[in-house]
Amino acid sequence: MTVAYAPGKVILFGEHAVVYGQPAVAVPVTQVQARATVETSPEGQGITIIAENLKQSYSLEQAPPDDALRAIVVSTLEHIGVGTKHDLTITISSTIPIARGLGSGAAVSTAIVRALGRHLGHPLSSQAISNLVYETEKIHHGTPSGIDNTVIAFEKPVYFIRDRKIEIFSVKSPLLLVIADTGIASPTRIAVTHVRQAWEREREKYEELFDEIGTVAEMGRQAIERGETETVGRLMNENHRLLRLLCVSSPELEGLVEAAREGGALGAKLSGAGRGGNIIALVTQETRSRVELMLRLAGAKGVVVSEVG
Ligand code: PMV
């Protein structure tokens, strides 16, 4: 049996604007993960996919062509050049909440590609994995920027600009993040579509906001590389203000962002597509417990602490 894992991720700076060519900064979150196992099945059984969290089990042949798990299995086998005539059982499980901006779809796909590649004696590079996962992200997201598959396949902090070579960068002083869940599922495709419609109506206004977000992301990367943690926090607050102007916040996200700041966070913002999903708060060892408590009191459904760098 072959086992492979992939982490979740959060976007520190630049979501939404990244779809329009601006830079964004994302980091892996290893406290949550997707797991895929591949086992050889008895001859003639074909490929079976077991999605444990969804309590589903089906054969590759039965799955509709737009099934994201089927798509990643087929494209991986085609990439390796071995076709789909195999007898395999692929089992997937994940501790990453679905549709909360933590990259669950990309992580599940990444774990599958890794496990299949290794099982068939054909391990794939991070770039090859990222490219394959990007294709299935289109099923989940419509017009993904590519940031999720990149940060998850490389498992490193990334400075990402659409259609450019990725830049992996170093974190001078580790960042302590509290990630808190509104408990509200928010499909990325819907939030991205709403932003697109708003941009089509008022191009100038939205392009200015995208530019401002891009500047914040660039400054954010520099602050992280220099270890200027307080500046990172301030820039997170500024990024959140701009995301509100894009209309992707929600009362629940606002409640959690406020609670984190009241608890003493250096900065807090929604992370990912918005409307629901998670907020991230930058804390210190001293403020960490108070911020966690404030977030729980404000109704956070799940709180994860992650150290980056
Ligand atoms: O998958 P999420 O919720 O982290 O959102 C991805 C970030 C967006 O910028 C909103 C979309 C994209 O494709 O980059």
What does the pLDDT read at residue 21?
A: 96
Residue 140's pLDDT is 73
Does residue 141 carry a pLDDT above 80?
no
Cα(299) to centroid(ligand 1), Å: 24
Name 159's Cβ contacts closer than 8 Å, sequence gap at least 6: 23, 24, 25, 166, 167, 168, 169, 217, 221
Query: Could you tell me if the CB of 148 is within 6 A of ligand 1?
Result: yes
The verdict on the CB of residue 9 being under 6 Å from ligand 1 is no
pLDDT over 80 at 30, yes or no = yes
Beta bridge partners of 160: 24
Looking from the CA of residue 143, the nearest atom of ligand 1 is: 13
Average pLDDT over residues 224-240: 98
- Averaged pLDDT, 271-296: 97
Q: What is the pLDDT of residue 124?
A: 96
Q: How much is the average pLDDT of 188-196? A: 92
- In this prediction, residue 309 has a pLDDT band, given cuts at 50, 70 and 90, of confident
List of residues 6+ apart from 298 with CB closer than 8 A = 255, 256, 258, 259
pLDDT band at 66 (very low <50, low <70, confident <90, very high): confident
- Residue 83 pLDDT > 90: no
pLDDT at 98: 83
* Cβ neighbours for 208, distance < 8 A, ≥ 6 positions apart: none
Question: What is the per-residue pLDDT for 58?
Answer: 95
With a pLDDT cut of 70, the percent of the chain lying above it is: 100
| Cα-to-centroid distance, 265 and ligand 1 (Å) | 24
Residue 263 pLDDT greater than 90, yes or no: yes
Closest approach atom of ligand 1 to CA 140: 1
C-alpha of residue 176 to centroid of ligand 1, in Å: 22
Q: Are 260 and 178 in contact (CB under 8 A)?
A: yes
pLDDT value at position 139? 82
The candidate with the shortest Cα–Cα distance to 4, out of 34, 30, 46, is 34
The residues facing 50 across adjacent strands are: 57, 91
Phi-psi region of 18 (alpha: psi -120 to 50; beta: other; left: phi over 0): alpha
**Confidence check: pLDDT of 170 > 80:** yes
Res 142 pLDDT > 80: no
How many CA atoms does the CB half-sphere of 296 hold within 13 Å?
Answer: 10
Residue 247 φ then ψ, to 5°: 65, 35
Locate 104 and state its tokens: 């669950």
C-alpha of residue 87 to centroid of ligand 1, in Å: 35
Helical H segments across the chain, by residue range: 68-80, 104-119, 126-141, 147-154, 188-201, 203-226, 229-245, 251-262, 288-297
* Residue appearing with tokens 């520190």: 12
**Confidence band (pLDDT; 50, 70, 90) for 192?**
very high
> Ligand 1 centroid vs 17 CA: distance in angstroms?
9
Name the band, by pLDDT with cuts 50, 70 and 90, for residue 261.
very high
pLDDT at 143: 80
pLDDT of residue 100: 83
Decide whether any atom of ligand 1 lies within 6 Å of the 141 Cβ. yes
- Tell me how far apart the terminal alpha carbons of the chain are, to the nearest angstrom: 32
Burial tier of 254 (Cβ tally within 10 Å: 0-12, 13-18, 19+) = middle
Pocket of ligand 1 contains residue 101 by CB under 6 Å: yes
**Residue located via tokens 């974190």:** 171
pLDDT over 80 at 227, yes or no: yes
Contact 283, 258 (CB under 8 A): no
Minimum CA distance residue for ligand 1 atom 14: 145
Q: How far apart are CA 46 and CA 285, in angstroms?
A: 51
In the predicted structure, residue 79 carries a pLDDT above the cut 90: yes
The tens digit of pLDDT for each residue in 84-122 reads 899 999 999 999 988 788 999 999 999 999 999 999 999
Mean pLDDT of the chain: 95
CA of 57 to the centre of ligand 1 (A): 28
Best CA proximity match to 142, nearest among 200, 79, 66 = 66
Contact by Cβ (8 Å): 149, 110: yes
Of 251, 262, 227, 8, nearest in space to 281 by CA: 262
DSSP label at residue 61: T
- For residue 82, how far is its CA from the centre of ligand 1 (angstroms)? 32
Query: What value does the CA radius of gyration of the chain take, rounded to a whole number of Å?
Result: 19
Ligand 1 atom closest to the CA of 147, numbered from 1:
14
